[in-house]
């Protein structure tokens, strides 16, 4: 009996989309056949998987700047130490940010987890300008710490105008920056770092 019941039929039964007669036949077959019960459980798990919602953030792949000023770039390197260093969870690394020019800009740091998440600033007191970062030959230096998991980690920096208001009390304080990234008025770029197991 299990071979005659196809996955589409079982899915229709799971969704209560069969007529009463066929539905009762499927129900009886499932109740008597452990193989069918396993197939039904597998199909139910698939049906219940959440549908991924598209990200609101339009962050380009590593190394590709986005925004009206295409000169904006960042690159990452490990903190300067003696000898060769590989990144481990929690290690410090630096992003060097090329200044995209006027107007004065604030710094917003994002990290790709399930979706892009703003990790800095978390409240109004954290806001800093790009000009507040140390100026080095490679660009303005932003020190960060690698996340706790091994593997590839993606980080991004967005540079909204310093006078762009961020309402930290709003449901999503980043709506204006999301829109600015989409229309090109807020430059953004990303890097990928490789973190080895601890």
| First-residue to last-residue Cα distance in the chain | 52
The residue length of the chain stands at 198
pLDDT at 80 over 90: no
Domain ranges of the chain: 7-48, 74-195
> What is the residue-averaged pLDDT of the chain?
82
128 pLDDT tier (thresholds 50, 70, 90): very high
For the ranges 51-60, 103-112, 118-127, 185-194, which has the lowest average pLDDT? 51-60
pLDDT band at 56 (very low <50, low <70, confident <90, very high): confident
**Which comes out higher in pLDDT, residue 9 or 134?**
134
Q: Which of 22-36, 60-74, 92-106 bottoms out in mean pLDDT, i.e. has the lowest? A: 60-74
Please state, as a whole number, how many other Cβ atoms lie within 10 Å of the Cβ of residue 138.
Answer: 14
pLDDT band at 116 (very low <50, low <70, confident <90, very high): very high
CATH 1.10.3470 fits 74-195, yes or no: no
In the predicted model, is pLDDT for residue 69 greater than 90?
A: no
Does this model's pTM top 0.75? My answer is no
Phi-psi region of 151 (alpha: psi -120 to 50; beta: other; left: phi over 0): left
According to DSSP, the β-strands at 74-78 and 92-97 are antiparallel
pLDDT confidence tier of residue 111, bands split at 50, 70 and 90 = very high
- Mean pLDDT is lowest, of 5-9, 39-43, 72-76, 125-129, for 72-76
């Amino acid at each position: 009996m299990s071979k005659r019941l196809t996955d589409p039929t079982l899915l229709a039964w799971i969704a209560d989309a069969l007529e009463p007669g066929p539905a009762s036949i499927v129900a009886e077959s499932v109740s008597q056949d452990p193989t069918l019960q396993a197939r039904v459980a597998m199909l139910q798990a698939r049906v219940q998987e959440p549908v991924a919602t598209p990200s609101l953030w339009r962050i380009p792949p590593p190394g590709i700047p986005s925004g009206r000023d295409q000169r904006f770039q960042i690159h990452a390197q490990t903190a300067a130490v003696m000898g060769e260093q590989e990144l481990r969870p929690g290690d410090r690394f630096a992003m060097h940010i090329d200044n995209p020019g006027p107007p004065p800009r604030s710094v917003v740091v994002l990290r790709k987890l399930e979706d892009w998440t703003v990790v800095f600033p978390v409240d109004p007191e954290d806001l800093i300008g790009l000009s507040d970062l140390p100026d080095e030959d490679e660009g303005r230096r932003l020190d960060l710490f690698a996340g706790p998991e091994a593997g590839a980690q993606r980080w991004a920096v967005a540079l909204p105008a310093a006078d762009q208001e961020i309402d930290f009390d709003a449901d999503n304080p980043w709506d204006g920056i999301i829109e600015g990234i989409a229309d090109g008025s807020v430059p953004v770029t990303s890097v990928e770092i490789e973190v080895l197991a601890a």
